[in-house]
Amino acid sequence: MNSSRRAAYELKSQYFGRFCLKLGLTPNMLTAMSLALSVVAGIVLWKNHLIWGAVFIVLTSFADMLDGATARAGKMGTTYGGILDHVSDRYAEFFILAGILLSQRVHAGWALFALFGMIIASYTRAAAESIGKIENCEVGAVGRLEKFVIIIIGLIAEELIPGYFILAGALVIVGVVSYVTSIQRLRFTRQALREKENT
């Protein structure tokens, strides 16, 4: 998600954040809810209920959106909360992709290909921001939400029209765009570090 889309997304999502605050929900509570929903998604996918798996991935993503929106709306963002959110996101990706792997609807290699791609793209950003002291390395055309949308489409299509390896194709796409994102972030980091050295 680029910076302009991110700014528009954060502005619109604050409406939901204010609603959560009225319900007494905190960002960390919503992070825990998102993680719990991802566990359910993984279990449902493992049991081969692909449509329900897609539904729970949507719910996972929605709860993940709400924790950031609530933090911004209530000015409750903390460093620890940000770390907790990022770590929970990686666990969620693992549970969901592990569920797809265990469903045996695709070759295990494709699920692992997509899982490692998603993790390495996130790790590249984290390393750039923590080690390289880059203020924001959220570059790349395809973000986590878009990758989940690709997986959701793959799950629904695999259930409705099986036999065409659509889910495997979706995982390949997610893996490829994730590795491309990692490379984009490495290039962005190298350029940013060079500019720092020259100032």
Average pLDDT per consecutive 10 residues, the chain (199 residues; last block may be shorter): 64 88 96 98 98 98 95 92 95 98 97 97 95 91 92 98 96 97 96 90
Angle at 178 between CA 161 and CA 145, to 5 degrees: 65
pLDDT of the residue at 76: 93
pLDDT of the residue at 6: 65
Contact 180, 140 (CB under 8 A): yes
pLDDT of the residue at 4: 64
Contact 138, 188 (CB under 8 A): no
Distant-in-sequence, close-in-space partners of 43: CB < 8 Å, separation ≥ 6: 99
Q: Return the structure tokens found at 94.
A: 């693992």
**Using CA atoms, how far apart are residues 148 and 108, in angstroms rounded to an integer?**
18
**Using CA atoms, how far apart are residues 14 and 8, in angstroms rounded to an integer?**
10
**Using CA atoms, how far apart are residues 138 and 91, in angstroms rounded to an integer?**
19
**Using CA atoms, how far apart are residues 59 and 38, in angstroms rounded to an integer?**
8
pTM of the model: 0.93
The hierarchical CATH code for the domain 3-194 is 1.20.120.1760
Contact 6, 39 (CB under 8 A): no
Contact 70, 76 (CB under 8 A): yes
Distances (CA, A) of 140 to 21, 33, 179, 181: 32, 28, 10, 5
